[in-house]
A and B are shown apart, each in its own frame.
Chain A
Amino acid sequence: MRIHCPYCGERGNDEFSYLGDASVVRPDASAPNAEDAFYAFAYERRNVAGPTQELWYHAAGCHAWLVVTRNTRTHEISDVKPAQDVALARQSPVSSAS
């Protein structure tokens, strides 16, 4: 499995460390349901069999966090984006959605 880092190019997956599901978002600690929300944030995952977005860290390279779209059935990687770009895109248009 090789990951195409947007900064360094294609590298072996042993250069990266794995965090997991990139779709989880840290909840609002002041919300009334914060306890339940933080439980889900810390422990509940969907374990997708198929394409999924995950956070990988280029530890032996540029130290960037990446959002990697990877198929867990085949290990095929279809997309890699800097996590910063993904987070900013998530923030800007719908900041009042919650």
Chain B
Amino acid sequence: MLQAFVSEGIKPFVDGVVTFGAGHFYISQSDKGGLVFGGDIDGYNSYAQRGNLPVVEDVLEGGMALMPRIGRVRLLRSWGGIMDMSMDGSPIIDRTPIDGLYFNGGWCYGGFKATPASGLCFAHLLARDEPHEVAKAYRLDRFRTGHMIDEKGMGNQPNLH
């Protein structure tokens, strides 16, 4: 579960997307003036399409650490969406054991940003039936063979990635 937030509309303030890696916070501003921001995942299995308050607090603290001047802006709305977390935090782009069925998923919370590149790699796989050079490691059987792409070395718990 990943929550996102929108504030009331304010004058132009952020003219790009700002990400704060150390505090886990990102923010941009919509054309209507609302600040759009989010941060960490809730970190437990959920189909409820809403998150819980501890992560709301965590995200807002990250925002205040990065941009204290947004502290008096009021929140307009928030929502939560399901994240397709994989066991090693990396995606899968591969054939499946079913002939003719291909899989592109497990993008965790990075899928939206990665869509152009993952689409190119997936199209390459579909067209040639062999993986694109940069997506070779995103195999479905990497968990079985022990070739996990565990970038942070956190192990096999989806909520740790």
Those of B2-55 within 8 Å (CB) of chain A: 43-48, 50, 52-54
In contact, B48 and A72 (Cβ under 8 angstroms): yes
Residue A52, interface by CB 8 Å:
yes
With CB as the reference atom, state the residue of chain B lying closest to A35.
B144
- Number of residues from A at the complex interface, CB < 8 A: 19
CB-CB contacts below 8 Å: B72-91 with A:
87
Give the chain B neighbours of A12 by CB distance below 8 A.
53-54
By DSSP majority rule, is chain A's interface helix, strand, loop, or mixed?
Answer: mixed
Interface residue range, chain B: 10 to 19
| CB neighbours of B52 from chain A (8 A) | 1, 13, 75
Contact, CB under 8 Å: B48 / A20? no
Contact A42 B143 (CB under 8 A): yes
Instruction: Report A-chain residues with C-beta under 8 Å of the C-beta of B45.
Output: 20, 47-48, 52, 54, 72
* A49 adjacent to chain B (CB < 8 Å): yes
Q: Is the CB of A42 within 8 A of B156?
A: yes
A18 contacts the other chain (CB 8 A):
yes
B156–A72 CB distance below 8 A: no
- Nearest residue, chain A, Cβ from B146: A39
Residues of B with C-beta under 8 A to A13: 44, 52, 54
**Cβ-based interface call for A85 (8 A):** no
Give B contacts to A, CB under 8 Å: 43-48, 50, 52-54, 57, 87, 143-144, 156-159
Q: A: which residues have CB within 8 A of B? A: 1, 12-14, 18-20, 39, 42-43, 47-49, 52, 54, 72-75
